[in-house]
Amino acid sequence: MYEYVCYWDYGEEHKRVFWFRKEEALKEKEIKEARKQNKIQEGRCSSSPHLPQPMLEFDMTPHPFRNKVVKDPIKHEERYVKIPENPRLGIEIDRKNILKISQSS
């Protein structure tokens, strides 16, 4: 029986590094020893929780400033975001509105 075991260690830059190793199920004694050495966090983990998931994090609350600084704001339709077809980031800054906003404050 193989399981994925979640280990963590501090890399050269003192950042926490997670890595996974497929191995035979550990004996209870080995698990306790690895926990003492801080090599296993929370025992066994799922196979790959660190992999990025396709998720769009975008504030969907109405905000007048966000809509005024671009000529064609990003639109949401139901739970989807319409991807702009313009080149680069797909948005164009509205310099006239930015000038108005900066002069009024």
pLDDT digits (tens, 9 = 90+) for 88-100: 778 888 999 889 8
| Secondary structure of residue 65 in the 3-state scheme | helix
What is the pTM assigned to this prediction? 0.38
| Secondary structure of residue 30 in the 3-state scheme | helix
Residue 20, CA atoms < 13 Å, CB-side half-sphere: 12
Structural domain boundaries in the chain: 2-44, 64-104
> What integer is the mean pLDDT of 60-65?
73
pLDDT digits (tens, 9 = 90+) for 19-36: 444 445 556 666 667 666
Give which of 73, 77, 65 is closest to 91, Cα–Cα: 73
Count CB-CB contacts under 10 A for residue 69.
15
